[in-house]
A and B are shown apart, each in its own frame.
Chain A
Amino acid sequence: MKLYNISLNNIKRRKAKIVFLLFGLLIGISTIVALLSVSESMGRDIEEKLNKFGANIVLMPKSDTLSLTYGGMTVGGVNLEIKEFNESDIPKIKEIKNSKNLGSVAPKILGITKLNNKDVLLMGVDFEKEVSLKSWWMIQGKIPEKANEIMVGNDVANVFKLSQGDTVKLGKIDYRITAVLGESGSSEDDIIIGDLKSFQKALNKEGKISMVEIAAFCRGCPISDMVLQIAEKFPDGKVTALKQSVMSKMQSVDTFKTFTFGIAVLVVIIGSLLVFVTMMGSVNERTREIGIFRAIGFRKAHVMQIILLEALVVGVLGGIIGYITGCLIAKVFIPLVMEGSSFAGLNYETSIIAIVLSVSLSIIASLYPAFKASNLDPSEALRAL
Chain B
Amino acid sequence: MHIGHYISGVGHAGFIAALLFGGFAPTPEPFEVTEVAVITGDEFDRMVQAARPPQTATDVAMPAPPDDAQSDAPAPAQQDTPPATATPKVTQAPEAETPPPTPPAPTPEADVSDEPPRIAPPPQEQAVLAPPVSDRPVPRPVPRVAPEPVARPEPEAKPDPVQREEVVPDDALPPIPQDPQEATAPEEATTEIVTEATEKPSSAPTASLRPKTRPNLPAAVAETKPAPATPPATNQNAVNDALAAALGGGSASSAASGGDSPPTDGNGTAPSGPPMTAGDKDALRVSVQRCWNVGSLSAEAMRTTVTVLVEMGRDSKPIHATIRRLGYEGGNETSARQAFEAARRAIIRCGNDGFDLPAEKYEHWRELELVFNPEKMRIK
Chain A complexes with chain B? no
B residues adjacent to A (C-beta < 8 A): none
List chain A positions with a Cβ less than 8 A from chain B: none
